[in-house]
Amino acid sequence: MDTLTAHLTKGGHAMREVLELDLAERGLREVNGILHRTDLDADAVRILNPAGKHSVAVGLNRAIRVTIEGHTGYYAAGMNQLADVVINGNAGVGVAQNMMSGSVLVRGNASQSAGATAHGGLLVVEGDAAARCGISMKGVDIVVGGNVGHMSAFMAQAGRLVVRGDAGEALGDSLYEARIYVRGTVASLGADCVVKEMRPEHHEELAGLLKSTGFEGEDTSAYTRYGSARRLYNFHVDNTDAY
């Protein structure tokens, strides 16, 4: 009985050791298919040799821990629900896009549009995230250990973005109700994004996010909070230049 067969059950109980799936041997479609199988009796899966392939571990919808040993291409862990995914490398465009719940941890850097349109869950990028990080986020929490590029949190509707480094141009452009915390400098703010007061509840919220993502012990007073000025919620002719 091979390792995979030992983890595919029909009413029985297989051994609970970590299941290893090698993308160099099985191919992407087969590996993703295995992760989606309802009879897969494994709590944890290691994916080997991702070699920058796109759409690795997408659409997961149950509580399982998936560790990807290497760099991934576009849309890794996209549409995640309930699963905890760790990428031991860099991630391409759209990592964790449209995530609903669970968590995604990128041990390296993330390319553009990390966490785009995500509704919930937690995305952590230990390195830098490129342009449009958190674009149109709808409830996800995103914590970036380094810098974020331009147009991050563009049209962000809900959720929280924490940046431990610097932010590029047009941060929070056309922001709705998402909250942004930045420790470093911001190149420029986007339309309708303004500096807001850090009240006690915001310090508490930020400290909790940092602690839950392994960045505990930081002085939250070093961060600046940004949010929407709410001038663009309804069209007004005086604000035409801002649209």
What's the total number of domains in the chain? 1
**Cα 243 to Cα 223: distance, rounded to the nearest angstrom:** 28
Q: How confident is the model at residue 221 (pLDDT cuts 50, 70, 90)?
A: very high
Q: Residue 31 falls within a domain, yes or no?
A: no
Sequence-ordered strand ranges (E) for 179-223: 179-182, 193-196
Q: How far apart are CA 116 and CA 64, in angstroms?
A: 22
* Residue 32 in domain: no
- Can you give the residue range of the structural domain that contains 92? 46-242
The pLDDT of 100-122, averaged and rounded, is: 98
pTM of the model: 0.91
- 15 domain residue, yes or no: no
Alpha helices (H) along the chain: 3-6, 23-26, 28-35, 200-212
**Residue 34 is assigned to a structural domain of this protein:** no
CATH of the domain at 139: 2.160.20.60
**Pairwise pLDDT comparison (236 vs 180), residue with the higher score:** 180
Look at residue 236 and tell me whether its pLDDT is greater than 70.
no
pLDDT tens for 159-195 read: 999 999 999 999 999 999 999 999 999 999 999 999 9
Asked if the structure places residue 35 within a domain, the reply is: no
pLDDT at 75: 98
The percent of residues in the chain predicted with pLDDT above 70, rounded, is 89
Please compute the mean of the pLDDT values over residues 185-211 and round it to a whole number: 97
Contact between 85 and 77 under an 8 Å Cβ cutoff? The reply is yes
